[in-house]
Amino acid sequence: METLTQRLTGRGWRMTAQRRVIARVFDAAGAEHIHLTADDVLERAVAVLPEISRATVYNTLGEMVDAGEVLAVNVGDRVTRYDPNVAKTHHHLVCEVCSSIFDVQAEVLPSANTADVAAIAPGFVIESADVIFRGRCACCR
């Protein structure tokens, strides 16, 4: 699987030191899939590049979302989390106790049937769907 740094380089992004550090924050997770807040990204980026600013982190995350290379995930707690997993359509499982977020592939837990939605709202064209399942993770049960 391609890293975020590889995807951004492949699309011809100018990889400044700041952009590279932010992308590598996500790359460092490796097999562990993460959903970081902007403050999480800032904290990890400052450890590598102390002069990076909060504004640069927020602006770069916004650019990455606009480019479709990172997802902005809002699960109802008013804090946006950033998800570098854009390779496959997936849903999110949110633990109501510890607030952990887990990915689950759409094929495993299908979302609402789009044909059902079309029957309720004739003429409506569905372009995307965000599905969030809430419950308790194995550690919090």
Residues at the binding site for Zn(2+) are 95, 98, 137, 140
CB neighbours of 126 closer than 8 A, spacing ≥ 6?
114, 117, 118
Question: What is the DSSP code string of 67-125?
Answer: TTSSEEEE-SSS-EEEE---SS-EEEEEETTT--EEEEETTTS--S-HHHHHHHSTTPP
Cβ-based neighbours of 64, under 8 Å, separated by 6 or more? 4, 8, 22, 23, 70, 82
Feature table: binding site? 95, 98, 137, 140
* Residue 46, number of CB atoms within 10 A of its CB: 15
